Amino acid sequence: MGRSQYPINLTDVQWRRFEPHIPGAKPGVRLGSADVREVVNAIPDVGRNGVTWWALPHDLLA
């Protein structure tokens, strides 16, 4: 991961356990350029703060 680490981010061990449970893209769906792990790491921030983009980690939006 090339971005800054935040205390709430999944560790590598947690990510290895979590990643197999993420479904793949459906046929015909174009995936964006976002790293799935970064998106998963942002979910607790959205849950804790609501959908306030300004509260997400600043480098996720870059």
d(CA 62, CA 30): 20
The pLDDT value given to residue 16: 95
Q: Is residue 1 scored above 70 in pLDDT? A: no
Q: Where are the domains of the chain?
A: 35-62
Can you read off the two tokens belonging to residue 48? 């804790």
The pLDDT value given to residue 50: 63
Count Cβ atoms within 10 A of the Cβ of residue 27 and give its class: 0-12 exposed, 13-18 middle, 19 or more buried. Answer: exposed
The pLDDT value given to residue 51: 60
Q: Say which residue, 61 or 19, is predicted with more confidence.
A: 19
Can you read off the two tokens belonging to residue 61? 């939006």
The helix (H) or strand (E) run that includes residue 46 is helix 36-49
For 7-60, how does the pLDDT look when each residue is reduced to its tens digit (9 = 90+)? 678 899 999 999 999 888 788 877 677 788 888 887 776 666 666 666 666 665
